[in-house]
Chain A
Amino acid sequence: MNLLFGLSPFLAVGVGALLLMLAEAFGKPNVAPGVETTDAGAGRAGELALGAAVILVIGAVLSVAVWVAGPESLPELTQVAPHLVIDKFTLFFSFTLCVGGALAALLAGGYLPEHGIDRSEFFPLLLLSTVGAMALSAAGDLLTLFVALETMSLGVYSLIGLRRGSPRAAEAALKYFLLGSFAAAIMLFGLALLYGATGHTDLAGIGAAVRSIGSPGSTVSAGKILISLVLVLVGLAFKVSAVPFHQWTPDAYEGAPTPAATYMAVAVKSAAFAVLLRVLLVGFGDERLASWGAGWPPALAVLAVLSMTVANLVAGRQESVKRMLAYSSIAHAGYALVGVVAAMRSPEAVSAVAFYLLAYTVSTAGAFGALILCGSRGAEAVSYEDLAGVGKRHPAAALAFSLFLFSLAGLPPTAGFFGKLYVFRTAIDSGLYTLAILGLVNSVIGAYYYLRVMVYLYMREPAPGAPRAVTMRSGFVATALVAAAIFVLLLGMAPGFTLDMASGAALTAR
């Protein structure tokens, strides 16, 4: 029974996904009389969105429940280890993933019907992909890791291409699929090499084998370990979309339906960071690899600086808000990578990254949601010009947008501020002053393009005669925005509880 309780967040979402799938398949199409459809779930986006959101919220609540009960006090959980490692780290991330998924589901509930994308499989796919993401954050074994990664990715590949008939969406899906499978293959090669070199598939065993290098009697080859480390890093850098493995991101986000882009930006990235942390700290946690002189920290530091700088500079030059948000997500991957680098010395950095990703999840989902609210069918808000005057036409959407942009820019009193603060503080604690200063300078550059959105929202009027985006109203999107806003403000003004939760996550990651 305790085992079931410990696994309940995963089971809830997994079983929920299957039930929702059946519900979609056996439902009665809700279409206008006379319209022929073979799709049993047609016209049911609203109910399915609600169902998906409820399931994911249950998953989030159960994550917190297990967290509070304490996974240490559930000895039965060792039965599933190391395939699934249920610790506070995992639970914190599964909470984040469920929240991100639920927000994306609510956004889709408003977005898909508004834009005539009657693809009700969105919701089962979203849930199944979330199960994969949660399993990824719990993966303590190379096999689970890869299977979970693919479960997560396959769902996302199809989510991107749901807008059929749009060449943009086809391009986006194909691009993401090809590059994604390529990255997965590279990573799989790295994992195979790792298994070959150490004879273990569980990360803890790999970690022990890596530690044994150099001691008498060890047969583990340092060269193979290094090569596999590089390959795994490349594969995961692709998933978190760090520069220079980011090329697909803007195109994929732009072509995908906005809720799918939201899901990619928040959940896929968070899960990839979770597994990155676990692989690096458990598998490659050896002092010789996790040091500033050699191993992964300098490599990741380069990725972090590149991601922040390149993404921020390029984001400022975008004309499409969606692409700007895509580059912003790349920049945020850079900030979080600073925390991952700091994790080599300070265990607290793990919780900093976890907290950062939660803050990033709610802010980004909110920003995409506000963008959805700014446009309607046939007149989706895409460019900055489309946002001109929204401050007057739809003050609530503009206010919410500003709040989330403030959070993304890292300004107090929002979640993003505390996230950045926490990450940079651990960086300074670990003596990484240069990285922290580069990160802060980059946050300022980032503030430019976030504030630019506000210029259009509040200070510009649409040009006379120009086609203007008609703002939409949707209970689903509004609910998602309110929930995200509550999170952003709560984490920004009273972060104590969540910080404590996150710092509990740090200790058990190793």
Chain B
Amino acid sequence: MPFLESHLLGVIVAAPFLAALALLFVSPTRPGAIRAISLVGALVSLAGSVHVALGYDLARGGLQRAERYPLVPSLGIDLSLAVDGWSVSLLLLTGVIIVTGVLASWTLTDRPRDFFVLLLVLVAGVFGVFVCQDLFVFFLFYEIAVLPMYLLIGIWGSRGKVPAAGPFAFVWRRFDVGGREYAAMKLTLMLLVGSAAILVVILALYSAAGGSTFDLQALARARFPRELQLWAFPLLWLGFGSLAGVFPFHTWSPDGHAAAPTAVSMLHAGVLMKLGAFGVIRVGMLLLPEGASYWAPTVGGVAVINVLYGAICALTQRDLKYVIAYSSVSHMGVVMLGAATLTVDGWNGAIYQMFAHGMMTGLFFALVGLVYDRAHTRWVPSMGGFARQMPWVASFFVLAGLSSLGLPGLAGFVAEFLVFLGAWQSQHYVWALAGVLGAWVTAVYVLRVGRDIFFGEGPRSDEIHHLTDARRSEWGALWVLGACLVVFGSYPRLILDFIHVATLEYLPRAAGAASALLEASR
């Protein structure tokens, strides 16, 4: 199948989209067919991603499998696709998450067709961002990935109420904080502000590079003037950072994750937030190396705040989804921390953390969804002793939790270890210390939440005997994600090799600018 082989990346991106298109022609009253088509679309992408990973020539490195389709020739916009080591790992992550996400929403009954259409369009955008080599189309895919979120949360979101309390209770009542409409609107508007900032920078870069191409490689070769880099990088950082949950633009994330339906939470925390971090590194740090090294201390400092603030917030939350959502904010801080170190280990760790955290948080949200389905509550104090009714769910929760707090042998450990190593190698020892402190706080809240929900005597333990363990399709999501955590945690080279190749190629550009900057300051 030479056609398939030479257009594989296009197929990976198009498969979910085509599946979504096909769904439009299926009667909404046939949920079985709808699920099957969605699953096929997701599986094709996953299989393609695996094939890309197996076929990636590690010895050669660089960009492989380049495909190019002209889109708007007069402006120099092409749909050009290619993979490097980073993309390979993130493709795999996205493939796994979308397949498990479809499995996790198998039992959805409210307008399943529209739900799966939006979900698949979203994931097509995510695949597109990871393999796209044209800055403009990169932005298009980014928007396609972000926008369906509005409807997904607004229509299928849960109505979990946040009790109004504290001095700002009137704000809660006024805006219906915790409601799905509030969450959807907040998320969309904050991300759109970020997109606006990104668009300004993209257009400025396009103009500065001669106004003839959006190609990432060509733009990376164009050496942008220092002043441009110095103002453009922070805009990009905050623009993409609003999606990556960079403090203080993270506030949409807990509300959004809490209100979103299970599969959407999985995709959002598991993959979508990574798009933001990927954008910062792929566009910000590679195209604007001088700006990146100038702002790296700020980026790292804010990332430290993210790690600690997110962890402390998670510590104080009582709503299960908010706990996990704030833990995502904290873990995305680790990604940004790794990126800010501008070291090989730091960057390897950052990308690996995207991968590991994606799997882990996907598993978390799948479990939370399961628990919520059965107990109809997300309020931690009203749960307890669930482990007797759902032992497997409890086991997987502990597994995800242990990965989250960085237990050696699980994927989370590899990532955090690399990031802290990178921080130590850079000039900022404090970052490593703060990161470790964050991991410790993580241990506290994860273990505490796990204990409160699954073990011990719950206040309603007489009412929970109707709870059941995971069923049929739900097993798929749990086992796949759990296995990934263990496999990639105990044998990280499976993914790390890919990441390392790309890091070695890209880092000298950014780090070179950093050392030049250091010399200039001496």
A residues apposed to B, CB below 8 Å: 406, 411-413, 421, 424-425, 428-429, 433, 436-437, 440-441, 443-444, 447-448, 451-452, 454-455, 458-459, 494-496, 499-500, 503
- Cα distance, A440 to B235, chains bound together (Å): 13
- List the B residue with the shortest CB-CB distance to A493: B71
By the criterion CB–CB under 8 Å, are B188 and A443 in contact? no
By the criterion CB–CB under 8 Å, are A441 and B155 in contact? no
Q: How far apart are B413's CB and chain A's nearest CB, in angstroms?
A: 39
Q: How far apart are B264's CB and chain A's nearest CB, in angstroms?
A: 15
- List the A residue with the shortest CB-CB distance to B196: A440
Q: Interface centre among A440, A443, A458, by most B CB within 10 Å?
A: A440
Given A428-B203, A428-B207, A455-B181, are A499 and B151 neighbors across the interface (CB < 8 Å)?
Answer: no
By the criterion CB–CB under 8 Å, are A436 and B74 in contact? no
By the criterion CB–CB under 8 Å, are B147 and A429 in contact? no
Partner of B189, one of A444, A458, A496: A444
Does B73 lie at the interface of the complex (its beta carbon under 8 Å from any beta carbon of A)? yes
- Cα distance, A429 to B211, chains bound together (Å): 9
20 contacts between A and B (CB under 8 A): A406-B147, A411-B143, A412-B143, A421-B199, A428-B200, A437-B196, A440-B200, A444-B189, A444-B195, A448-B189, A451-B150, A451-B185, A454-B151, A455-B185, A458-B151, A458-B155, A459-B155, A494-B72, A495-B72, A496-B73
Q: Which residues of B contact A499 (CB under 8 A)?
A: 72, 74-75
Does B206 lie at the interface of the complex (its beta carbon under 8 Å from any beta carbon of A)? yes
Q: Which residues of A contact B150 (CB under 8 A)?
A: 451, 454
Q: Which residues of B contact A437 (CB under 8 A)?
A: 196, 200
Given A413-B144, A496-B74, are A428 and B204 neighbors across the interface (CB < 8 Å)?
Answer: yes
Given A413-B140, A425-B206, A448-B189, are A440 and B199 neighbors across the interface (CB < 8 Å)?
Answer: yes
By the criterion CB–CB under 8 Å, are B192 and A447 in contact? yes
Does B47 lie at the interface of the complex (its beta carbon under 8 Å from any beta carbon of A)? no
Does B412 lie at the interface of the complex (its beta carbon under 8 Å from any beta carbon of A)? no
- List the A residue with the shortest CB-CB distance to B143: A412
What is the predominant secondary structure among interface residues of chain B facing chain A?
A: helix
By the criterion CB–CB under 8 Å, are A424 and B143 in contact? no
Q: Which residues of B contact A458 (CB under 8 A)?
A: 151, 154-155
- Cα distance, A365 to B368, chains bound together (Å): 45
By the criterion CB–CB under 8 Å, are B200 and A451 in contact? no
- Cα distance, A433 to B321, chains bound together (Å): 41
By the criterion CB–CB under 8 Å, are B75 and A451 in contact? no
By the criterion CB–CB under 8 Å, are A429 and B207 in contact? yes
Q: How far apart are A153's CB and chain B's nearest CB, in angstroms?
A: 36
A-B interface, 7 closest residue pairs, ranked by CB to CB distance from nearest: A440-B196, A444-B192, A496-B72, A428-B203, A412-B143, A425-B203, A459-B154
By the criterion CB–CB under 8 Å, are B72 and A441 in contact? no
- List the A residue with the shortest CB-CB distance to B153: A459
B residues apposed to A, CB below 8 Å: 71-75, 139-140, 143-144, 147, 150-151, 154-155, 180-181, 184-185, 188-189, 192-193, 195-197, 199-200, 203-204, 206-207, 211
- Cα distance, A500 to B155, chains bound together (Å): 40
Q: Which residues of A contact B185 (CB under 8 A)?
A: 448, 451-452, 455
- List the B residue with the shortest CB-CB distance to A402: B151
Q: Which residues of B contact A448 (CB under 8 A)?
A: 185, 189
- List the B residue with the shortest CB-CB distance to A424: B203
- Cα distance, A415 to B140, chains bound together (Å): 13
- Cα distance, A454 to B151, chains bound together (Å): 9
Q: How far apart are A184's CB and chain B's nearest CB, in angstroms?
A: 38
- Cα distance, A433 to B75, chains bound together (Å): 20
- Cα distance, A459 to B181, chains bound together (Å): 8
- Cα distance, A102 to B143, chains bound together (Å): 32
- List the A residue with the shortest CB-CB distance to B195: A444
Q: Which residues of B contact A413 (CB under 8 A)?
A: 140, 144
By the criterion CB–CB under 8 Å, are B207 and A503 in contact? no
Q: Which residues of A contact B144 (CB under 8 A)?
A: 412-413
- Cα distance, A103 to B185, chains bound together (Å): 32
By the criterion CB–CB under 8 Å, are A455 and B140 in contact? no
- Cα distance, A436 to B202, chains bound together (Å): 12
Q: How far apart are A197's CB and chain B's nearest CB, in angstroms?
A: 38
- List the B residue with the shortest CB-CB distance to A495: B72
Q: How far apart are B222's CB and chain A's nearest CB, in angstroms?
A: 16
By the criterion CB–CB under 8 Å, are B193 and A444 in contact? yes
Q: How far apart are A273's CB and chain B's nearest CB, in angstroms?
A: 22
By the criterion CB–CB under 8 Å, are B203 and A443 in contact? no
Q: Which residues of B contact A494 (CB under 8 A)?
A: 71-72
- List the A residue with the shortest CB-CB distance to B136: A421
- Cα distance, A413 to B188, chains bound together (Å): 16
Q: Which residues of B contact A440 (CB under 8 A)?
A: 196-197, 199-200
Q: How far apart are B266's CB and chain A's nearest CB, in angstroms?
A: 22
Q: How far apart are A404's CB and chain B's nearest CB, in angstroms?
A: 15
- Told that A412-B140, A443-B196, A499-B74 touch, could you supply 16 new A-B pairs with CB distance under 8 A? A424-B199, A424-B203, A428-B207, A437-B200, A440-B196, A440-B197, A440-B199, A444-B192, A444-B193, A451-B188, A454-B154, A455-B185, A459-B180, A496-B72, A496-B73, A499-B72
- Cα distance, A424 to B198, chains bound together (Å): 13
Q: Interface centre among B150, B196, B204, by most A CB within 10 Å?
A: B196
By the criterion CB–CB under 8 Å, are A447 and B200 in contact? no
- Cα distance, A295 to B95, chains bound together (Å): 57
- List the B residue with the shortest CB-CB distance to A437: B200
- Cα distance, A455 to B197, chains bound together (Å): 25
- List the B residue with the shortest CB-CB distance to A430: B207
By the criterion CB–CB under 8 Å, are A441 and B193 in contact? yes
